[in-house]
Structure 1
Amino acid sequence: MNKFVKGSIAGAAGITLLLGGLGSFALWNDSTTVTAGAVNSGELQIVESAAEGSWAPKLAHIVPGDTVTYTETFTVKAKGDNLHAQLIANVGEPASKITGAEVTTNFSVSGGATRDPANKNLYTFDQGTYEVKVTITVVFDWTTAGRTGQNQTFTPGPVTVSLEQVLLP
Structure 2
Amino acid sequence: MNKATKGAMAAGAAALLLLGGAGSLALWSDSESVDGGAINTGTLDISSAAGTWQDVSVPGVPVDISDISLFRMVPGDTVEYTTEMTVTVIGDNLSADVEFDPTFVPVFTEGPDAGILAARNITRVAPTAANFTVDVDAFREGTTTPVTTITDADDNLVIDVTVSIAFDAIDQVGINTTASFEDFDVTVQQVRP
Cα gap change, 1:110 to 1:166, in 2 (>3 Å) = same
* Alignment TM-score, normalising by the size of structure 2: 0.56
Shift in Å, 1:36: 1.6
Letter in 2 for 1:73: E
Structure of greater Rg = 1
Give yes or no for the alignment of 1:101 onto 2:131: yes
Give yes or no for the alignment of 1:88 onto 2:105: no
Letter in 1 for 2:90: K
CA distance in 1, matches of 2:167, 2:184: 23
**Percent of matched pairs sharing the same residue:** 22
Cα gap change, 1:159 to 1:53, in 2 (>3 Å) = farther
Cα gap change, 1:153 to 1:136, in 2 (>3 Å) = farther
Letter in 2 for 1:125: T
Residue of structure 2 equivalent to 1:130: 157
SS of structure 2 residue aligned to 1:94: strand
Shift in Å, 1:55: 2.9
Shift in Å, 1:80: 1.6
Contact 1:53 1:73 in 2 (8 A): no
Which string of whole-angstrom CA distances, capped at 9 and with x for unpartnered residues, describes residues 97-143 of structure 1? 7955233342414168962xxxxxxx3332411223443332334xx
CA distance in 2, matches of 1:103, 1:159: 16
CA distance in 2, matches of 1:11, 1:99: 107
Cα gap change, 1:14 to 1:164, in 2 (>3 Å) = same
Shift in Å, 1:43: 1.8
Letter in 2 for 1:94: F
Give yes or no for the alignment of 1:44 onto 2:44: yes
Cα gap change, 1:106 to 1:158, in 2 (>3 Å) = same
Question: What are the ranges of 5 or more consecutive residues in structure 1 without an aligned counterpart?
Answer: 116-122
Count of aligned pairs: 152
Q: Higher relative contact order by CA 8 Å / sep ≥ 6: 1 or 2?
A: 1
Letter in 2 for 1:16: A
* Alignment TM-score, normalising by the size of structure 1: 0.61
Question: What are the ranges of 5 or more consecutive residues in structure 2 without an aligned counterpart?
Answer: 57-62, 64-70, 114-127
Letter in 2 for 1:83: S
Superposed, 1:1-169 pairs within 5 Å as 3-4=1-2, 7=6, 10-17=9-16, 20=19, 31-49=31-49, 51-57=50-56, 58=63, 61-64=73-76, 66-81=77-92, 82-89=94-101, 90-96=104-110, 99-110=129-140, 115=148, 123-127=149-153, 128-141=155-168, 144-145=169-170, 147-149=171-173, 151-168=175-192
